[in-house]
Structure 1
Amino acid sequence: MIGSSSTAELDAARLLLAKMGIDPAELFAAPVVRPEVPTFAEYIPVVAAAVSDSTRRAYSSYWKRLEQHWGSRRLDEPTPTELKQLAEEAKAQALVRRNSRGGRSAAENFVAAARCLYRHAEDDGVISEGGNPARKVAKPRRLPSTRRAVHDVGLAEINEAAATTGDDPELDTLLLRLHTETACRRGGALNLRPRDLDSVQCLIYLREKDGAVRWQPVSPTLMGYLLAHAEQRGATHPEGQLLRYRHGEPITKRRYDHLWDRIGRHVPWVRTQGVSTHWLRHTTLTWVERNFGYAIAHAYAGHHDASDSATTTYVKAGLADIATALAALTGEAHPLADGTSWEARS
């Protein structure tokens, strides 16, 4: 009969619907009413209000770029090629710094910001997975870091410059010792509060990126410096920021910028190579790994690798292990370190 379908054609149609995840009965159901797709100007504030402070700070400039270019467009209108074009534009317009990589980080962060925005749109049901253009835009491959561990002589030069120059050498040397002992990130230091100091067990409570928190051992000497700093500079409220200028105002990340700029003027290789606080983290963790192994260095850094959870379960290091490594690094006994001396272990 003309217009009739063969069994093979019907089987092919059923197979196609199955691959598309569609039940044939759905073809006869009433159409699903989907919410209207919002514009970038409408949806970006929604996502910005839903993410963490750190995510918002990292992506806000890229979301602003999307809003400036496509504020009145719906999320489902731009193509992957258009997103790639904006990523290349972000790369070309990136600020040129001493440690710049040709704008690769700007392009990578733009793609990450777009993916974050569209991932929320998927979760909210305003676009489908197949209608997400950010899924089809690859991030630029990240180049190996130029950061490295600083040798002992170089570290001594850095500390000497901090201690003998500037308007507040007490603060600057405290910052350097804090980062050298704990290998904490800059955010961990800026987030310290007076209530985060456990003077009995010589521990500080670090809050770092992505909401990661941990207790980190410090030497008795550093703990004494931190307590004295809090008392002398008016950091008396338990919830107030610990690290402060002489006049009592909390420091910001700009203190770090000024510190390394000044050190670079007195130690030329620091300026030439773009040394920053993160190099101190590399220095300490490299030393810990070489002398105490990967597991303890991993814990010392505050890393928690979900993708490596099975292996981490068997090589997980605890506070006693970190404290023992710290005691060897500083040459000071720590109340949580185990009783085996470092010399006996090596």
Structure 2
Amino acid sequence: MADPERVAVALRMLADLGVSVADLRDAQRPPVPTVAEYLPQVMAAAGPGARRTYGSYWDRIAALWGDRPLDAIAASDIEALQHQAAATARLRRNARGGRHAGEHVVAAVRAIYNRAIADGLLDRADSPAHRVGKPRRLPSTRRALTPDELEQINVAARSSGNDVVLDALLLRLHTETACRRGGALALRLIDLDADRGLVRLTEKGGTVRWQPITQDLAASLADHARQRGAVLPTDALLRYRTGRPISYRRYDHLWQRIGTHLPWVAAQQISTHWLRHTTLTWVERHFGYGIARAYAGHTDSTGPATTTYIKADLQAVATALAAMTGQPHPLANPTVDVPPAAG
């Protein structure tokens, strides 16, 4: 422990020189780069999801503040950009008055300053981005679809479009697994275990899990991949007729088309994530929270302490799937009395 008397002497000497401890600390740091100089480093360290979400905002930030050092940006600059982004947000199906755009601006700027803090360029107290609050997120309007609504959506998908086989397969995959779009797009040939009725999903945060699917769906996925040119284990599973892997655009086009046939789909801004709500709601109602949590692939430890102990295995998830689809599954527990299949 430092001698208090010696510390006092040192502080008096620094005061006589007109230097503070903060000045000494700052002198040891590397020069603070400009936004344009540092942004490529931030983008290189970001994951693909962050680059996709924040890329357009980082471009705008570089255009506005590119020649300014990181420590020359004020909280009021960020707030002004936040309001501008909200006011000029593109009208989308899920638009909510520009709130998402304003929230993304703050998150995009924070990503820059979080990296600068981690790199030792700034202290957290020096970050203007952390002095700007994010807009309060509104409650989600998503809900579980009724059996009749789900049937209408599937009929609309199978009776229109330029690739009804692909679209029907996508809807069935998301309904059976409750996976996110990213999980479906990441599927490769090696991620399908058709014999045991399983797909390996890689989703948010790099989480990986094996998810039961019906053997009918497993066979359809295997045929689809084979017919559309998937050969190598690392080849994408879901493909256009040309053999090119599908992208997020397929989902956008799918729901736009369904919305033209079913006006209530467009009015309520229904999307693929609603299928996740639908499946997980059914599983929770019939099999309880623990199995629904496993079915969703949730691994976070936030919430009540009992979430540490409420765990379900693959067999329990397969049993819920068998009950929901009315189809047997090789991993389902045959001794469990299951409720009738979903309508």
Residues 36 and 272 (structure 1 numbering): CA distance in 2 closer, same or farther, change over 3 Å?
same
- Are 1:182 and 2:177 matched, yes or no? yes
Paired residue for 2:222, among 200, 206, 227? 227
Residues 323 and 339, structure 2, Cα contact 8 Å, conserved in 1: no
Q: Secondary structure at the match of 1:215?
A: strand
- Are 1:203 and 2:198 matched, yes or no? yes
CA distance in 2 between counterparts of 1:63 and 1:342 reads 54
- Name 1:243's counterpart in structure 2: 238
CA distance in 1 between counterparts of 2:336 and 2:301 reads 32
Q: Which runs of 4+ in 1 moved over 6 A?
A: none
Residues 192 and 243, structure 1, Cα contact 8 Å, conserved in 2: yes
Report deviation, 1:25. 7.0
Q: Secondary structure at the match of 1:306?
A: coil
Residues 124 and 267 (structure 1 numbering): CA distance in 2 closer, same or farther, change over 3 Å?
same
- Name 2:163's counterpart in structure 1: 168
CA distance in 2 between counterparts of 1:254 and 1:345 reads 36
User: How many aligned residue pairs are there?
Assistant: 325
- Name 2:73's counterpart in structure 1: 78
CA distance in 2 between counterparts of 1:320 and 1:266 reads 39
CA RMSD of aligned residues (A): 2.0
CA distance in 2 between counterparts of 1:306 and 1:25 reads 49
| TM alignment of 1:219-298, pairs within 5 A | 219-298=214-293
Give unmatched runs, 5+ long, in structure 2.
15-20
Residues 289 and 297, structure 1, Cα contact 8 Å, conserved in 2: yes
- Name 2:212's counterpart in structure 1: 217
Report deviation, 1:26. 6.3
CA distance in 2 between counterparts of 1:122 and 1:240 reads 39
CA distance in 1 between counterparts of 2:247 and 2:9 reads 61
Report deviation, 1:308. 3.9
Deviating more after overlay: 26-35 vs 275-284: 26-35
Report deviation, 1:37. 0.7
- Name 1:343's counterpart in structure 2: 338
Q: Secondary structure at the match of 1:307?
A: coil
Report deviation, 1:344. 7.3
TM score, norm. by length of structure 2: 0.90
Q: Secondary structure at the match of 2:210?
A: strand
Report deviation, 1:209. 2.3
CA distance in 1 between counterparts of 2:212 and 2:339 reads 21
| TM alignment of 1:1-346, pairs within 5 A | 24=8, 27=11, 31-32=24-25, 33-308=28-303, 310-343=305-338
Give unmatched runs, 5+ long, in structure 1.
1-13, 15-22
User: How many percent identity over aligned positions?
Assistant: 55
CA distance in 1 between counterparts of 2:54 and 2:10 reads 40
Q: Secondary structure at the match of 1:204?
A: strand
Report deviation, 1:210. 2.4
Report deviation, 1:123. 1.1
